[in-house]
């Protein structure tokens, strides 16, 4: 079974999918990790973002797997555990541009579908229910008021010691929403058959329970 969770930044997608993974034993498929693997390999080969053909060649030839048999998911790139290395600031600084290369996105969608085969998977993003897994058994669109999402991000930043004002975070959320909605490929959209959950006035626990109930209702059909 595939559960696709789409929605804007700050709606709680990442936290929710981790909770479902822990409580129901689903694989939390990190689609971003696949792009990070391509970015890491490009850095290792000394490529620049102008080397699009060579980056596409990397995407077409690398082997990406997720080992989820232990306590945490291990990202394997050509058999090597790169779970930590793909999170470095060097990879983070280029992964957005790498993921914007359309043929790379097409190839990574193939990889993501392969990684999900034969498993119970929950996966979050912007275009999961519309492009990556259009045939997902369950599609959720998780939304929340912009101001509430900004407040959540602002509170997270404070906890992490990141010095930003609420107004700065709100402007960032507005800009991110605009960019996500207007992307040429992989734009943020509601799938026509998505179940919409507005988390504006809900706690994380309440959203998790709602999604668990949706999953259990589907299983009992």
Region 95-118: mean pLDDT is: 93
Region 49-76: mean pLDDT is: 91
For 166, the 3-state DSSP assignment is helix
pLDDT in tens, 153-208: 899 888 888 888 999 999 999 998 998 898 888 889 999 999 999 999 999 999 99
**Tell me, what's the pLDDT at 67?**
86
Residue that is written with structure tokens 């179940």 in the block: 195
Helix (H), strand (E) at residue 123: strand 121-125
Neighbouring CB atoms inside 10 A of 107's CB total: 19
Walk me through the domains of the chain, giving residue ranges and CATH numbers.
1-26+120-221 (3.40.50.300), 32-118 (3.40.50.300)
Q: Model's pTM, two decimal places?
A: 0.87
The β-bridge relationship of strands 2-6 and 27-28 is unpaired
Q: Where residue 96 falls among pLDDT bands split at 50, 70, 90? A: confident
The structure tokens listed for 132 are: 């990556």
Q: Where residue 17 falls among pLDDT bands split at 50, 70, 90? A: very high
For 45, the 3-state DSSP assignment is coil
The β-bridge relationship of strands 138-143 and 121-125 is unpaired
Q: How far apart are CA 174 and CA 181, in angstroms?
A: 11
């Amino acid at each position: 079974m595939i559960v696709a969770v789409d929605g804007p930044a700050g709606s709680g997608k990442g936290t929710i999918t981790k909770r479902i993974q822990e409580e129901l034993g689903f694989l939390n498929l990190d689609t971003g990790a696949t792009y990070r693997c391509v970015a890491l390999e490009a850095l290792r080969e000394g490529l620049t973002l102008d080397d699009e053909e060579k980056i596409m060649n990397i995407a077409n030839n690398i082997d990406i797997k997720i080992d989820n048999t232990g306590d945490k998911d291990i990202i394997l790139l050509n058999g090597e555990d790169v779970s930590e290395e793909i999170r470095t600031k060097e990879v983070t600084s280029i992964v957005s541009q790498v993921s914007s290369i359309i043929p790379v996105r097409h190839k990574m969608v193939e990889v993501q579908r392969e990684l999900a085969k034969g498993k119970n998977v929950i996966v979050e993003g912007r275009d999961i229910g519309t492009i990556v897994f259009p045939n997902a058994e369950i599609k959720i669109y998780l939304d929340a008021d912009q101001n509430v999402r900004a407040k959540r991000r602002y509170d997270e930043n404070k906890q992490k010691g990141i010095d930003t004002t609420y107004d700065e975070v709100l402007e960032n959320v507005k800009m991110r929403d605009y960019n996500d909605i207007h992307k040429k490929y992989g734009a943020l959209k509601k799938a026509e058959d998505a179940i919409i959950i507005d988390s504006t006035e809900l706690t994380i626990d309440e959203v998790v329970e709602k999604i668990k109930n949706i999953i259990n209702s589907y299983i009992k059909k």
